Structure 1
Amino acid sequence: MSVSAIALAQSAPPGDRLAALLAVPEDQWFDRKSGRIAPKDLARALAAFANAEGGTVIVGLHGGRYDGAELTVDKENALRQASIDFTHPPVRVHTERLDLGDGRSVLRFDIPVSEHVHETSTGEVYLRVGDESKRLSYAQRRELDFDRGSAHFEGEAAPGADAQDLDLDLLAEYRSSVGSTGSDETALRARSLLTRDGSLTHAAALLLAKDPQQWLPQASVRVLRFTSDQAGTGRRLTLEAGRDERFDGPIPSVIASASRRIAEWMPQHRALGNRGRFENIDIIPADAWLEGLVNAVVHRSYSMAGDHIRVNIHPGRIEIESPGRFPGLADPHHPLEIARYARNPRIARVCSDLGITQERGEGIRRMFEEMRVAGLQDPTYEQTSGSVRLLLRAEPSLSPQLLASLPSGGEEILRILREHDAPMGTGDIIDASGRSRPYVRTALAGLREAGLISWRGTSARDPRATWEIVR
């Protein structure tokens, strides 16, 4: 990922840095710009990063080549002043020359996450989303203004916290992930984990402290397993004895411990597996519920005291509920259309540094894909006045009546097509399933008649004909 790759590129010998920087993919925190870029255009990128989660811009690389020769003294001075001349309020930027050897160099702009919403001199507001700087509409800008209130909290000082409270092993892992060779203070400032006066922020405590709960007692995950799909209350409570556990500690430890317990308590059913044999299979794919857990921990509202994340495991579903509503830029009714936006940008970025998340805006899509490949219903979100609840149901995406009408092998062939996620020929499906041609052809005909798959070809004997899922 870019955050560690940039650090490795900068620490490499000057002659190796150009190839290393050109190989880094542009993403949420990294962008390359030509040495010919105008200062006002650079200002857009600087504001977009500051409005999102911070990042790095390298100026002097374009189209897979070096073009830093365009960076004359006058041009460099103009670019260094871009954040002052063309953004309001001015974006805080650290700028340095990066030597590439052979008399070549580029400009590196490091932009920390900001507590403010920055606009360009023309009054436009940009937000870094994936590998693009997107211009926000008026309504989106207003929502960003409101959401900045939550971002303030993780950047505030954790009262009384100091370096003695940090977990040294986690700190060393963090330093390695960001490629820091300087002091601990320098490493922490690289991700805005210190306030301007040098105090540890809430984000630093949550990520790296031995006991973050002394400042934020609500920062925990509780895992419960029930014997029924109805939780019940009082005498009708269906909570299983000994199946209620709370996990405290820094975020990396909480995620690791809670995920191990969820995997241990996950209900299973007997079904035909990928190897063509019956085996015990989790009712919900691990990649789906793990994505839900990580999202809840990274993006919950930590400013809401008195509530924690709950993972309720039922015989037929999993519920993951986290404090805080969706940020204003997100619509829970259309989860696949949610734009990349982090309520806790410092936490999100460090979790990406540590390899806990990918943070490419693909998490929700990946969760949907895992459920669909397993033939289960799409994930759904429910939003209350103070929380977001994710539901992952162990229910087939097809109705019982439709399932009953399918020929033998229909579900298996459907699963193969879902996993492949691209058109397949009949021969490919036969190879993937290990079934006979008549068996597969009968199943395909039944699925086609049910309207679940479609056939594309020029004739009945077309060797290039393919089958695919009807979306």
Structure 2
Amino acid sequence: MSETREVVADLRRRGAEPTQVEVKAAAGGMPKSLKETLSAFSNGEGGIVLLGLSEDEDFTPVASFDADAIRDAAAGMAADSMTPAVRCEIAIEPFEGARIVRIDVPEMNSGEKPCYVTARGVYGGSYLRVGDGDRKLTQYEVTQLLANQGQPTDDQQPVREAALADLDPQAVSALLTRVRERSPRAFAGVSDDVALTRLGVLVRDGENLVPSLAGLLCLGIYPQQFFPQLNVTFVALPGTTMGETTQDGRRFLDNQTVDGPLPVIVQDAVAAVERNMLRGAVIQGAGRSDRYEYPLEAVRELVVNALMHRDYGPLARGTQVQIELYADRLVVKNPGSLYGGVEVGGLGADEITSSRNGLLARLLSDVELPGRGEVVCENRGSGIPRIMATLRAAGMTPPEFEATLSHVKVTVPRHALLDTDTVEWIASLGVTGLTDAQHMALAMLHHGTEVSNERLRSWGLDSREATAALTDLVDRGLAERSGGRRYARYQLSPDVALSSRVAGSDVDPSSPLERSAPRPGGTIVLDEDLESVLRAVGAEGLDATRPVAAHLGWTYSRTLSRINELIGRGMLEATAPPTSRKRRYRVTAEGVRRLSVS
């Protein structure tokens, strides 16, 4: 837990509140908005509230602040005005000759969320921290949190409009043959209808047997007859952001809607990605093999994972799984939040078997991919670890996981983890005695990825080795730690002299290491996403990476990458070296010209 003086020193250095800190003057009494902050921190990753400091006066103590009264009022609010009650630590602390109140709000367990303001109800009083503010959750986001209080059964619901005739007879026969050979006691001596009912493929709707949602998705002839949007959309883009076009005006190099039952969707979606990937030849002995930008096994597991764990509830049935192939990354996005005890930091570190769609996961472990003779998935929690292992074996950078209450997004960068540029940068630090684990951690940091113990574990290290490596990097002054014990993250230390595209301002946009080449199809002439960053700096007056990221709703690493690309294009300039905490950004004359015509 950070000391209050360290927290305030960081606030003064930033000139603004980070996501996990809220400051309120409370000179006139307890601010009513504290309820919203208690809800937001409880529903997120927790946070710190400091009462009695003025944000407008460089976070200095305010006059006439009644610390005793505010502490008691805060304790009463946390206990009596919130559902569930917020179990936080509240203390009066001396600070710069005055007394202030500090509240440490822990994250609530997933089974207790959402935490909400009792008087406003669960749908009107649930909040989440976004940037330095508290945002009311949407109906869908509240529904996602409530789903964690039990096992969702959306995949078990009957599809009343469908019938047995809407299932593919060959797929049904193959499934029954498989389960009767594996479990003859349960399935060998019964009729097909009974077997399909025991499997959950058919469910009773009054007096009728109809397909369940999971049964229709796995075995249906054309499930989109009943659910038009339960499919996959795939686009291959010419550049690094959505909206860029080729010289002849094309926004997409490929644009497909992939329909059918899930096994067919998996096969056709992977084929679409494969068809649009760059490919190179690898000579092995006397033979020659093709190597794609992304290992096909990893692509397949990403697609299966998205389809199996997406939200199939009524509010999400209008949203597809989206696959986007950019010049520099592959993105797979599905609707719905993480379910159960799964957390972003632990993805890939352990084989987690928690599944939102239990029936669907079980059926997919018995249904085969067309013409391959293998099931769609193992249903053993091995999907993400397999993705990690496959990418690691290919020497690629780890994927980035982003999980909100409305979606889960996996981004796989195209570049290698320890490429020539990265190896040279690590050597330029002049530090000796680094372990392989530390080289790996520095390479991730160099590419703009926040590193944690879990992230290194997912990349093949054990927990002790990961902790020792990261602790030593901090001790050497190469990295710094942020967050609490549970959510400890590591970033490059500001004192490290960076000469890379991640933190440097000497970006050469023509270099293949600095900027991915467009895909076949023409020269990029428009970049709407970069213009969003440019407008955030030029029109909104946001001059640092984190405020821009919060404004756009992006991750820090994604925002920093776009800022550096704009610097490379001459549209932004930095006010200080990358090692400086005072580094800010401003629009150049070229950037102003671009804004004037956009």
- Stretches of structure 2 that go unaligned for 5 or more consecutive residues are 1-107, 114-144, 181-186, 368-374, 439-459, 467-598
Residues 322 and 332, structure 2, Cα contact 8 Å, conserved in 1: yes
Query: In the TM superposition, what is the alpha-carbon distance from 1:167 to its structure 2 partner?
Result: 0.7
Q: Does residue 199 in structure 1 map to residue 183 in structure 2? A: no
**1:262-306 Cα deviation digits (max 9, x unpaired):** 222222346x55559886521111111111111011111122122
Deviations 1:299-331 (CA, angstroms, capped at 9, x unpaired): 111221221011111222110011111114211
Match of 2:234 in 1: 223
State how 1:32-431 maps to structure 2 within 5 Å: 139=109, 142=112, 146-147=147-148, 151-179=152-180, 180-181=187-188, 182-197=190-205, 198-232=209-243, 239-241=251-253, 243-269=254-280, 275=285, 280-303=290-313, 304-337=316-349, 339-354=352-367, 355-398=375-418, 400-404=420-424
Q: How large is the RMSD of aligned CA atoms in angstroms?
A: 3.4
State how far apart, in whole Å, the 1-side matches of 2:307 and 2:255 are: 18
Q: CA deviation at 1:150?
A: 6.7
Partners of 2:382 and 2:157 lie apart in 1 by 29
CA shift at 1:386, angstroms? 1.5
Count the aligned residue pairs.
281
Q: Give distance in 2, aligned partners of 1:357 and 1:283.
A: 23
- Partner amino acid, structure 2, of 1:167: D
Check the 8 A contact 1:287/1:367 in 2, yes or no: yes
Q: What is the TM-score with the length of structure 1 in the denominator?
A: 0.53
Displacement of 1:374: 1.2
Q: 1:388 and 1:449, CA in 2 relative to 1: closer, same or farther beyond 3 A? A: same
SS in 2 for 1:349: helix
2:359 aligned partner, one-letter code: R
Assess, with a 3 A threshold, how the Cα gap between structure 1 residues 173 and 298 changes in structure 2: closer, same or farther: same
CA distance in 2, matches of 1:327, 1:276: 48
Compute the displacement of 1:147 (Å): 3.1
How has the CA–CA distance of structure 1 residues 325 and 233 changed in structure 2, closer, same or farther, with 3 Å as cutoff?
farther
**1:240 to partner: Cα distance:** 3.0
> Cα distance 1:195–1:369, how it changes in 2: closer, same or farther (>3 A)?
same
1:251-270 Cα deviation digits (max 9, x unpaired): 11111121222222222346
CA–CA separation in structure 2 for the residues paired with 1:292 and 1:334: 16
**Which residue in 1 is equivalent to 2:436?**
452
Give distance in 2, aligned partners of 1:385 and 1:173: 37
2:226 corresponds to which letter in structure 1?
Answer: W
CA distance in 2, matches of 1:275, 1:363: 32
Is the contact between residue 284 and residue 317 of structure 1 (CA under 8 Å) also seen in structure 2? no
User: What CA deviation, in whole Å up to 9, does each residue of 1:8-29 have, x standing for no partner?
Assistant: xxxxxxxxxxxxxxxxxxxxxx
Query: Does structure 1 conserve the Cα–Cα contact (< 8 Å) formed by 2:171 and 2:219?
Result: yes
Q: Distance in 2 between matches of 1:238 and 1:397?
A: 32
The alignment-based identity, stated in percent, is 23
| Alignment-mate amino acid for residue 387 of structure 1 | H
TM-score w.r.t. length of structure 2 = 0.43
